[in-house]
Chain A
Amino acid sequence: MAIPEQYRQGFPENYSPEAGAETQWCPVAIKECSAVGISGTFNRGGIGHIPQQTFDLTFSQSRINRALQFHKVGDVYSPDTGLNVSPPGYPTMSYEWVRDNIPEHPNTAPTSDEDSVALFGVAFVKGDDPTSRLLVIRANRSAVKTGMIDPRDPTERFNLYTITFLPFMRIYQSVEEDIYTESRLSNNGALTCDVFEGTQVRMECFDQRFITEDGEITDVNDNVVETSFFFGLSSWVQATLPNSGDTGRTWYALWCPEQESFAEYFGDGGPYGVGQNIYYGLNSVQGGYGFDGDGGTFDFRSDHIGIPTAPTMGVTSSGFYNIYKLTGQGVLADFGRALFPQLPWDEPVENTMQGIAKVINYLGQVNQSGKLLDYILDIHIIPCAVPYGSLQHITVGGREFYNEQGYPYQANVVDSPYVSQSCGSLAIPEAFGNFLDYTVRCKLYLPFYGYVEIPPEYWNGGWISVDYMFNVIDGSFVAYVSGRAKHSNMNALIGQYSGCAVTHIPLRGADYSAVVAGIITTGAGIAGSVGGLAVGNLGIAGAGASAVASGLGQLFSAKPNMVNNGSSNSSSAMMMYKTPYLIIEYPTPQFSDRYPKEKGLPLNVASSLGSYGGMTIATDVVLDGIPCTEREKERIRTALKSGLIFK
């Protein structure tokens, strides 16, 4: 496999990995650094968030591993195919994909927390040694929790790490400063040792030691030597740990939301530094310049905001109300007959007084039944399954009711006034892998609520999930929309939408009138959708094109909006579609093959003009060191603005 161009700088010109060389892991970046870099402090902040200064590795070309392959985070490497393969429709894999699909893989089936997640690992590759594989640092939870470790959740604080390493390595765990206890190897090369967050780890490789904290590389006698290896850093999920000689394993690289590849972590020079500093620089993150000359210091990591738990207190906890879940056809009809007594006209009476007494008794029962209706608060239908407990007698105003056979009317008691309903999540990979992905419009339809617009920064390249919580008592609900996107450093609740989805069953005429009045007057107007994108080559918001001002631009801007909602109330909401869905409007690009050659592609890189070759456009160039006339310099500047072609 050829080395991708952006990683090639520094390799010998004729270097390429040997075809068929054994690879069983997915490095995502190779970097020339100065020391082994897994220092003692692990910051949790999101998948793969590793402070740049932590990793400082060295390498030597004498140790080039010809089996290296270069992968982006999100690739799946399969030893069967030897290719980078991503599942169809998922060019960037999310944790959800890994979680949902790993059980189907013959080699994998994470069944416990311990096996579920490797936060990151360092892969040591030693020439053609088939046993030189992998150092995996896994995360174990600091608290007792069940379920798979969710690497998206920054509340998953880990203070216990398990390191698995290879037979040619030893791990030293420091118990005090500069004092290390050695963790030994097992015979099969797969040994684990637990280290705690904050522990300094010293890794010994080929009988030489790499000190983590200060970059010194020493041998077993603590003599500083110059020894170095290729290191790859990756983040992946793997169900079981590797063993020496293990060949039949597929590695899944975890999706890294902040960067496309770990190469972006290592921007500070080095032949493999693709270029955080080249492309963006730390200053780019901090805005480039500021009062102190270094830009701002805001930490762009986000707090995780999850779905709230249901309130702990509700109507059912009062003990004063009875909440029943009715099942079966016609149950209300039977109950109604018991509630409203029938005057037994056909029963004979011996005399008039007896008949009068019977009528008075009946009227008394009718009166009592009317009062009983006051103790029936509501009967309604809500669009969710309600958890319930045991069967109990239906009581109204303290009375129980029995059928003609003498059996009591019973119903299941509702345990909790709140019910959660998950609608799952949708992973939405980027369609274009470029700026066009952030010109799309997305409307999310929420059942019983309507349509909401969600900017692509909240979901593109990531996922959206929808969850509902219903209040059983009155049919009110909140729809929770969570999202995570490829380029947004957040994993959070991005919207909460409340409404009411209930069909009331009126008990009296007054109730019915109120229901009808509600339909007429209490419509919940929901904002319709807004207009579509600018289309054609007519400029995209913020791009600076001027064509929108043209008549043609106005024509497209005047496209009608499609209003998807009218007003609805709680009853009509019940008739709406009951599954959330997305409507996404994508631009339809038309890209000429000659476009890069004729116009170049956006880059914004600080580099030497001849670095990349081909059509090159640069504005405001400072032409130092060119001994030409000022008129020639001006011609060069003008030519660079429209493009020079560097052969």
Chain B
Amino acid sequence: MAHSIQLYNTADDPRVVGKTKSTVGGAHAITLKDGCSIDEPTVSLTISASSIANANYAYIGDFGRYYWIRDRKSLVNGVVELVLESDPWESFASQLRACPATISRNENASNGYLLDDSYQLLAYNTVVTRLFPQGMTDESMILMTVG
């Protein structure tokens, strides 16, 4: 069965869901290496290596997945072999976004009263004094007698 691959370049952090990708050329037919898995396939395509020098990301539509290009090898006869590793959070981004979970930390929302053991403190404390509004300013001399 023939498959095709679309190559991309992305500068986003690998942890980003919703990466910004720019295409590198068009779709190319690929040949799967025997015995590879769907999430870590090795594919070969006939293309000049220099034309895809800046490609670091790929999409195989038949597998419904995005892939990191982990390695590339130039073989004979203008064949380039790409070692791919799937990017599951990009590949299943919509399902992942909708997945219910207990979010323990987030960049944009927080509950400040939860303990944060990653917080940085300086070595010294700040000591503050506060005086109450009134004190005992009076004195009284008392005489106690009987009779």
Within 8 Å by CB of A639, from B89, B115, B127, lies: B89
Q: CB-CB < 8 A to A201: which residues of B?
A: none
Q: CB-CB < 8 A to B20: which residues of A?
A: 647
* CA–CA, A257 and B134, complex, Å: 26
Chain B's interface size range is 35 or more
Q: CB-CB < 8 A to B117: which residues of A?
A: 539-540, 543-545
Do A601 and B116 touch across chains, with their CB atoms under 8 A apart?
Answer: yes
* CA–CA, A430 and B116, complex, Å: 17
A516 touches B (CB below 8 Å): no
16 cross-chain CB contacts under 8 A = A320-B146, A326-B141, A384-B139, A426-B133, A435-B112, A438-B113, A448-B136, A505-B141, A537-B121, A582-B129, A586-B127, A602-B116, A607-B101, A608-B101, A623-B99, A645-B107
Do A581 and B130 touch across chains, with their CB atoms under 8 A apart?
Answer: yes
Do B128 and A602 touch across chains, with their CB atoms under 8 A apart?
Answer: no
Do A435 and B145 touch across chains, with their CB atoms under 8 A apart?
Answer: no
Give chain B nearest CB distance to A635 CB in angstroms. Answer: 6
A285 touches B (CB below 8 Å): no
Query: For residue B128, which residue of chain A has the nearest CB?
Result: A584
B2 touches A (CB below 8 Å): no
Query: For residue B94, which residue of chain A has the nearest CB?
Result: A610
Give chain A nearest CB distance to B8 CB in angstroms. Answer: 15
- Whether A424 contacts B101 in the complex (CB less than 8 A), given A326-B142, A382-B139, A536-B123, comes out as no
Within 8 A of A (CB), among B85-103: 86, 88-89, 91-92, 95-103
B77 touches A (CB below 8 Å): no
Query: For residue A505, which residue of chain B has the nearest CB?
Result: B141
Do A608 and B130 touch across chains, with their CB atoms under 8 A apart?
Answer: no
Give chain A nearest CB distance to B3 CB in angstroms. Answer: 18
A560 touches B (CB below 8 Å): no
Give chain A nearest CB distance to B140 CB in angstroms. Answer: 4
Q: CB-CB < 8 A to A538: which residues of B?
A: 121
Q: CB-CB < 8 A to A556: which residues of B?
A: 123
Do A610 and B96 touch across chains, with their CB atoms under 8 A apart?
Answer: yes
Do A608 and B113 touch across chains, with their CB atoms under 8 A apart?
Answer: no
Do A423 and B132 touch across chains, with their CB atoms under 8 A apart?
Answer: yes
Q: CB-CB < 8 A to A622: which residues of B?
A: 99-101
A30 touches B (CB below 8 Å): no
Give chain A nearest CB distance to B59 CB in angstroms. Answer: 15
Do A434 and B142 touch across chains, with their CB atoms under 8 A apart?
Answer: no
Q: CB-CB < 8 A to A378: which residues of B?
A: 142-144
A54 touches B (CB below 8 Å): no
B interface residues with partner A (beta carbon < 8 Å): 12-13, 15-20, 37-39, 86, 88-89, 91-92, 95-147
Stretch of A74-82, A206-214, A394-402 that contacts chain B? A394-402
Q: CB-CB < 8 A to B18: which residues of A?
A: 646-647
Do A588 and B109 touch across chains, with their CB atoms under 8 A apart?
Answer: no
Give chain A nearest CB distance to B110 CB in angstroms. Answer: 3
Do B111 and A603 touch across chains, with their CB atoms under 8 A apart?
Answer: yes
Do A435 and B115 touch across chains, with their CB atoms under 8 A apart?
Answer: yes
A487 touches B (CB below 8 Å): yes
Q: CB-CB < 8 A to B131: which residues of A?
A: 579-581
Query: For residue B112, which residue of chain A has the nearest CB?
Result: A434
- Whether A604 contacts B92 in the complex (CB less than 8 A), given A323-B142, A378-B142, A383-B138, comes out as no
3 A-B pairs with least C-beta separation: A579-B135, A610-B97, A614-B107
Q: CB-CB < 8 A to A588: which residues of B?
A: 121-122, 124-126
A606 touches B (CB below 8 Å): yes
Do A644 and B107 touch across chains, with their CB atoms under 8 A apart?
Answer: no
Query: For residue B116, which residue of chain A has the nearest CB?
Result: A602
Chain A's interface size range is 35 or more
Q: CB-CB < 8 A to A615: which residues of B?
A: 105-107
Q: CB-CB < 8 A to B88: which residues of A?
A: 626, 628, 632-633, 635-636
Q: CB-CB < 8 A to B133: which residues of A?
A: 423-426
Give chain B nearest CB distance to A596 CB in angstroms. Answer: 5
* CA–CA, A600 and B106, complex, Å: 4
Within 8 A of B (CB), among A530-565: 532-533, 535-540, 542-545, 556
Q: Can you name 14 extra interface pairs (CB under 8 A) apart from A321-B146, A590-B122, A601-B112?
A: A321-B145, A447-B136, A536-B122, A537-B120, A579-B132, A600-B104, A606-B101, A609-B101, A610-B98, A617-B103, A618-B101, A632-B86, A640-B101, A645-B17
- Whether A397 contacts B100 in the complex (CB less than 8 A), given A583-B127, A585-B125, A588-B121, comes out as no
A196 touches B (CB below 8 Å): no
Do B127 and A600 touch across chains, with their CB atoms under 8 A apart?
Answer: no
- Whether A617 contacts B105 in the complex (CB less than 8 A), given A378-B144, A625-B98, comes out as yes
Query: For residue A606, which residue of chain B has the nearest CB?
Result: B102
* CA–CA, A597 and B16, complex, Å: 12
Do B126 and A581 touch across chains, with their CB atoms under 8 A apart?
Answer: no
Q: CB-CB < 8 A to B113: which residues of A?
A: 434-435, 438, 487
A468 touches B (CB below 8 Å): yes
Give chain A nearest CB distance to B9 CB in angstroms. Answer: 17
Determine which residue in B38, B92, B121 has the highest number of CB atoms from chain A within 10 A of its CB, and name it.
Answer: B121
Query: For residue B18, which residue of chain A has the nearest CB?
Result: A647
Query: For residue B20, which residue of chain A has the nearest CB?
Result: A647
Do A607 and B100 touch across chains, with their CB atoms under 8 A apart?
Answer: yes
Do A604 and B146 touch across chains, with their CB atoms under 8 A apart?
Answer: no
Give chain A nearest CB distance to B145 CB in angstroms. Answer: 5
Do A279 and B111 touch across chains, with their CB atoms under 8 A apart?
Answer: yes
